[in-house]
Chains A and B, each alone.
Chain A
Amino acid sequence: MLRQPRNRIAAGLLAVLLLMPVLVGSTPQPSRAAGMTTLTFLGPDFDEWIAFVKVANEIGKPMGIQIKPEYLPWDNVFQKALIDSKSGVRTWDYVYIYNTWVPGLSASKAIMPIDDFLSTSANRNAVQPNDFIKETTAGLQLNGKLWAMPMLAAPYMLGYRSDLFRDAGEKKAFQAKYGYALTVPQTYKQLMDIAQFFTRKKGDTLAGKPLDQDFYGLVMANKSGGFLFHRYEHILVAYGADLVYNTKTMQPTANSPQSIAAAKYYVELHKYMQPGTETVTGGGAERVMASGRGAMAMDALDNMLSVLPVAKLSQVVGRISYALLPTQVAARPHANVGDANGLAIYALTQHKEEAFKLATAVLSTQGTKEVMKEYPALVPMRTSVVNDPDVRRNYPDVFAAMSLMLKGKPYTVFIPPLKEWIQAQDLYEQALSAAMSGQQSVEDALNGAQAKEVELFKRAGYIK
Chain B
Amino acid sequence: MGMRWATLGRGRLYFWLLTFPAVLYVVVWRLVPAFYTLWLSMTQYNIVYDALPRWNHFENFGRILRDGGLRGSLSLSVEFALIATAAEVVIGLAAALFLDTDPPGRNLLLGIFLLPMIMAPVVVGTAWSTLFDRTVGPIPYLVQLLHGPQVPWLATPATAMFALLIADAWEWAPLVALLLFAALQVIPRDQFEAARVDGASAGQLFLRIILPQIARMMGVAAGLRVMDAFLELDKVFVMTGGGPGTSTQFVSMFVYNQAFQFYELGYASAVITVVLALLAVAYGMYLRNYGRSLSPADS
| Residues of chain A at the chain B interface (Cβ within 8 Å) | 1, 7, 10-11, 14, 17-18, 79, 82-83, 86, 104, 107-108, 223-225, 274-280, 284, 288, 419-420, 422-423, 426, 430-431, 433-440, 445, 452, 456, 459-460
Contact = CB atoms under 8 A, between A and B. Distances in A.
Nearest to B44: A459
B155 A104 contact: no
B245 A430 contact: yes
B246 A430 contact: yes
B155 A275 contact: yes
A276 B133 contact: yes
B48 A108 contact: yes
Contact of B243 (A14, A79, A104, A433): A433
Which residue among B155, B157, B245 has the maximum number of chain A CB atoms within 10 Å of its CB? B245
B288 to A, nearest CB: 37
Given A14-B17, A17-B21, A18-B21, A420 B243 contact: no
B122 to A, nearest CB: 13
B263 A276 contact: no
Question: Chain B binding site: helix, strand, loop or mixed by DSSP?
Answer: loop
Contacts of A104: 48
B261 to A, nearest CB: 5
B10 interface: yes
Interface residues of B, number: 34
Given A1-B13, A104-B48, A426-B262, A276 B154 contact: yes
Which residue among A275, A420, A460 has the maximum number of chain B CB atoms within 10 Å of its CB? A275
Given A1-B10, A420-B48, 12 more contacts: A1-B14, A14-B18, A82-B47, A83-B47, A107-B48, A108-B49, A274-B134, A420-B49, A422-B261, A434-B247, A437-B157, A439-B247
Which residue among B44, B135, B263 has the maximum number of chain A CB atoms within 10 Å of its CB? B135
Contacts of B17: 11, 14
A446 B246 CA distance: 13
Nearest to B24: A18
B241 interface: yes
Contact of B245 (A107, A279, A439, A459): A439
A288 to B, nearest CB: 6
A431 B243 CA distance: 10
Contacts of B134: 274-276, 279
Given A1-B13, A433-B245, A419 B48 contact: yes
Closest 10 CB pairs of A and B: A434-B245, A276-B134, A437-B244, A439-B245, A275-B134, A278-B155, A423-B262, A439-B157, A433-B245, A86-B47
A18 B18 CA distance: 11
Contacts of B246: 430, 434, 439
Contacts of A460: 49
27 contacts: A1-B10, A17-B21, A79-B260, A82-B263, A83-B47, A224-B242, A224-B244, A274-B135, A275-B150, A276-B134, A277-B155, A278-B243, A284-B135, A420-B48, A422-B261, A426-B257, A426-B261, A426-B262, A430-B246, A433-B244, A433-B245, A436-B244, A436-B245, A437-B156, A437-B243, A439-B246, A439-B247
